[in-house]
Amino acid sequence: MKHIICIVGNPNCGKTTLFNALTGSHQDVGNWPGVTVEKKVGHYVHDSVDYELVDLPGIYSLTTVSKTGEDERVARDYILSQQAEAVINIVDASNLERNLYLTAQLIEMRVPVMLVVNMLDVAKKRKIEIDIEALGRMLGCPVVGIVASREQGVFALKEMIAEFLKSPTLPKLSLRYAPSIEKAHQEIEQEIQNADSLHPHWLAIELLEGANGSRESLDVATRARVMPIIERTEKEFVGNLDIAVADARYKLVADVSSKVEHKTGELPTTLTDRIDRIVLNRVAGFPIFLFIIYCMFLFTQNLGSAFIDFFDILVGGVMVTGFGELLEAIGVPEIVKVVLADGVGGGLQTVSTFIPVVFFLFFFLAILEDSGYMARVAFVMDKVLRRFGLSGRSFVPMLVGFGCTVPAIMSTRTLPSEHDRKMTVMLTPFMSCSAKIPIYSVFVAAFFPKYKALAMGGLYVFGILIGVLAALVFGKTLFRGNPIPFVMELPNYRLPSLKSVALLLWDKAKDFIERAFTVIFLATIVIWFLQSFDARLNVVTSSEQSLLAIIGRWLAPIFAPLGFADWRCATALISGFIAKESVVSTLQILLGASAVSTLFTTKTALSFLVFTLLYTPCVAAIAAIRREVGSAPRAALIALTQCCVAWLAAFVLYQLVLIL
Ligand code: GDP
Ligand code: MG
């Protein structure tokens, strides 16, 4: 006769250590069928009875909302299959509340559970004492405390298992949801019970939570009866039903842990605690954060632009002038020289000017990240952003977006959920990037000389507002679903290590450089070509005859409702597609000696500024977006959406100003 039991617990709570302590060296390691998740099975004998122990993957939760939740699925399916007579749930005593979330789910699964409280030594060191008996009484299941790494309590555990398996029982505690969820749950459970589904109680919870695969597991008829109940309840919780379900668990575990956990003294404060007391302080936290960000931009702008000139002169001197002269000297035809030196060389020059700012921004970000500060920023901003359907981590990319959209988009890759990633990619371009500053400066100086700072600041704020608006709209339509709950642990501060900063930096810089020399480079050459040649492919003498001007004339009517129908405006906007700085330089070239005020009035200037603030990000940013969203059409769609939003905003604003 052989008993089968399984072990489940959060990652790093000591599962493997306990497994080894119980089984010694008698174990087989393989993979779970169909997936690459490790499967470990071991044996031990106690009182001449044979026990088979199955080690499940370490997980925080048993419901999988993410697509890649293989670990969760393996654990869930195995526990529900009831191949094991009982589940041993191991929890980390020094982190009891968070670990008990999984316990709450096991209770809902209605399987026989025993609780093992591990790491009692760590808890003791942190001045936490856990009342094991009270915990057992509250949950209504056997509980034992151990120190797995020292094999303390392992014998008691074996005794407990032997005793429990004589007649396995379900935990006595039960979970209460909000009344309307309870009601919906009962109705759904009834429906799936009628359809002979297994584990109706748990499946009904999964259905309400929108867990992966739960709806698909029902037959068509049952699904048709169950969906209205879910939709009704979802409506009641305005799309936050899964949070409401999880909330019931959080409340339960908070209640349980507050009753069984006792502090036995004051914790010695660590340096991290002391820094956090300042950095996460209600009053001081935000100004400190703003100051650090201010330093970041100061740092990148100054150092970056110093190097911009360096690159500009170096690459310009070598590739454009020097290369041009060389070509001339060896006697190549003028046209070849123009294409190679001015076109290709000029393209390289433009591209290389991007590198320093991006480099320094990444450098600073890598330091913030490696030191542990970035996690705090996300933590602080989480509350605010959650209202707009974003999570705290989205904040960093959007912030970087004020510097340059390219690294901002690239940094979305660290966001753990697809939903957050897509939303953030979509919203980041609304944060006005620093390349637009030259445009603002010229226009603000010419049209709002008395309110320079106000006008500049106003544009930034306007961009943010439109971003917020877009977040609300997209959150309700395109990207429905919720930002994943914030469970990131705040790491201890440490001095950034040169190696990991270098690695972070290299990883991102490499990506940028690769792209810079493909997409951006090609696009730069295309615009240069359009600017330099006329319809018969002759080199133009005046920019008015260039292909770019022809396209500008063609597009100009689109901007008539916004107040600037002149072809030169359209042409400047097209060149802004390559780099926003070019909007001003192109305008200046096309205007010749006359001032911008000959082309705009205060009202149309305002409209033009709003349009440039919001319209398509530059080609480098679109290339980055393409990479993150995975397809060119989708990236194009995002760029097009931006243009439409920009047009609408400028239109509404211009018409309003006309009326006033
Ligand atoms: P798993 O991810 O759940 O399999 O966790 P492991 O068994 O790999 O344990 C994670 C770490 O915690 C290892 O370094 C263990 O040595 C350590 N560990 C496990 N149990 C205890 C314990 O009771 N006390 C202490 N101090 N460390 C433990
Ligand atoms: Mg392990």
SS (H, E, C) 478-510: CCCCCCCCCCCCCCCCCCCCHHHHHHHHHHHHH
Q: Decide: 301 and 358 in contact? Cβ < 8 Å.
A: no
Alpha-carbon 372 to chain mean position? 17
Cα 57 to averaged position of ligand 1 atoms, centre (Å): 14
Structure-block tokens of residue 592: 């010749």
Q: Which amino acid would we find at residue 79?
A: I
Ligand nearest to the CA of 8: 1
Residue 51 has what DSSP assignment?
Answer: E
Query: Residue 147 CA: which ligand 1 atom is closest?
Result: 23
Structure-block tokens of residue 411: 């940094």
Cβ(552) – ligand 1 distance below 6 Å? no
Instruction: State the pLDDT at residue 132.
Output: 96
Closest among 577, 585, 580, 572 to 546, alpha carbons compared: 572
Q: pTM for the full model?
A: 0.55
The answer to which of 208-217, 364-373, 460-469 has the lowest mean pLDDT is: 364-373
Closest among 427, 410, 439, 437 to 463, alpha carbons compared: 427
Cβ(446) – ligand 1 distance below 6 Å? no
Q: Decide: 645 and 540 in contact? Cβ < 8 Å.
A: no
Per-residue model confidence as pLDDT tens digits over 4-30: 999 999 988 999 889 999 998 667 777
What average pLDDT does range 224-234 have in this prediction? 94
Instruction: State the pLDDT at residue 381.
Output: 77
Cα 660 to averaged position of ligand 2 atoms, centre (Å): 68
Q: Give the three-class secondary structure for 235.
A: helix
Best mutation site among 15, 99, 130, 149 for ligand 1 pocket (most ligand atoms within 8 Å of CB): 149
The phi, psi pair for 436, rounded to 5°, reads -85, -10
Cβ(312) – ligand 1 distance below 6 Å? no
Contacts of 25 (CB under 8 A, 6+ apart): none
Cβ(15) – ligand 1 distance below 6 Å? yes
Contacts of 648 (CB under 8 A, 6+ apart): none
Cβ(152) – ligand 1 distance below 6 Å? no
What average pLDDT does range 451-467 have in this prediction? 86
CA 394 to CA 399: how far, in whole Å? 9
Per-residue model confidence as pLDDT tens digits over 107-164: 999 999 999 999 999 899 888 999 999 999 999 999 999 999 899 999 999 999 999 9
HEC-encoded secondary structure of 434-495: HHHHHHHHHHHHHHCHHHHHHHHHHHHHHHHHHHHHHHHHHHHCCCCCCCCCCCCCCCCCCC
CA 380 to CA 469: how far, in whole Å? 21
Query: Residue 17 CA: which ligand 1 atom is closest?
Result: 7
For atom 13 of ligand 1, the residue with the nearest CA is 14
What average pLDDT does range 352-356 have in this prediction? 71
CA 451 to CA 564: how far, in whole Å? 22
Helical ranges in 261-391 per DSSP H: 271-279, 285-315, 323-329, 334-337, 346-371, 373-386
Confidence of residue 495 (pLDDT cuts 50, 70, 90): confident
Cβ(20) – ligand 1 distance below 6 Å? no
Instruction: State the pLDDT at residue 483.
Output: 56
**Angle 209-212-218 from CA coordinates, rounded to 5°:** 85
CA 493 to CA 490: how far, in whole Å? 9
For atom 12 of ligand 1, the residue with the nearest CA is 14
Cα 85 to averaged position of ligand 1 atoms, centre (Å): 25
Instruction: State the pLDDT at residue 345.
Output: 76
Q: Decide: 378 and 552 in contact? Cβ < 8 Å.
A: no
Best mutation site among 16, 17, 116, 117 for ligand 1 pocket (most ligand atoms within 8 Å of CB): 17
Is the per-residue pLDDT at 514 higher than 80?
A: no
CA 390 to CA 75: how far, in whole Å? 29
Near ion ligand 2, which residues have CB within 5 Å?
16
User: Which is it for strands 2-9 and 86-92: parallel, antiparallel or unpaired?
Assistant: parallel
Q: Mean pLDDT, the chain, as a whole number? A: 85
CA 515 to CA 518: how far, in whole Å? 5
Q: Which amino acid would we find at residue 408?
A: A
Cα 13 to averaged position of ligand 1 atoms, centre (Å): 6
Residue 432 has what DSSP assignment?
Answer: P
Calculate the alpha carbon distances from 57 to 9, 19, 60, 144 in Å.
8, 12, 10, 21
Is the per-residue pLDDT at 65 higher than 70?
A: no
The phi, psi pair for 328, rounded to 5°, reads -60, -45
Cβ(149) – ligand 1 distance below 6 Å? yes
Per-residue model confidence as pLDDT tens digits over 246-276: 889 999 999 999 999 998 887 777 788 888 8
For atom 19 of ligand 1, the residue with the nearest CA is 14
Query: Residue 146 CA: which ligand 1 atom is closest?
Result: 23
Cα 14 to averaged position of ligand 2 atoms, centre (Å): 7
Cα 489 to averaged position of ligand 2 atoms, centre (Å): 19
Cβ(14) – ligand 1 distance below 6 Å? yes
Instruction: State the pLDDT at residue 263.
Output: 86
- Report, in this order, helix, strand and coil percent for the chain, each rounded to 5: 65, 10, 25
Is the per-residue pLDDT at 487 higher than 60?
A: no
Q: Decide: 233 and 192 in contact? Cβ < 8 Å.
A: no
Confidence of residue 32 (pLDDT cuts 50, 70, 90): confident
Instruction: State the pLDDT at residue 585.
Output: 76
The phi, psi pair for 117, rounded to 5°, reads -95, 110
Cα 149 to averaged position of ligand 1 atoms, centre (Å): 6
Cβ(81) – ligand 1 distance below 6 Å? no
Cα 156 to averaged position of ligand 1 atoms, centre (Å): 19
Cβ(436) – ligand 1 distance below 6 Å? no
- Residue 315: how many other CB atoms lie within 10 Å: 19
Cβ(118) – ligand 1 distance below 6 Å? yes
Instruction: State the pLDDT at residue 481.
Output: 60
Cα 340 to averaged position of ligand 2 atoms, centre (Å): 59
CA 628 to CA 578: how far, in whole Å? 19
CA 97 to CA 259: how far, in whole Å? 11
Cβ(56) – ligand 1 distance below 6 Å? no
Cβ(16) – ligand 1 distance below 6 Å? yes
Cβ(151) – ligand 1 distance below 6 Å? no
The phi, psi pair for 364, rounded to 5°, reads -65, -45
CA 9 to CA 145: how far, in whole Å? 15
Angle at which helices 373-386 and 285-315 cross, to 10°: 110
Per-residue model confidence as pLDDT tens digits over 575-604: 888 888 778 877 877 777 778 888 899 999
Q: Decide: 346 and 320 in contact? Cβ < 8 Å.
A: yes
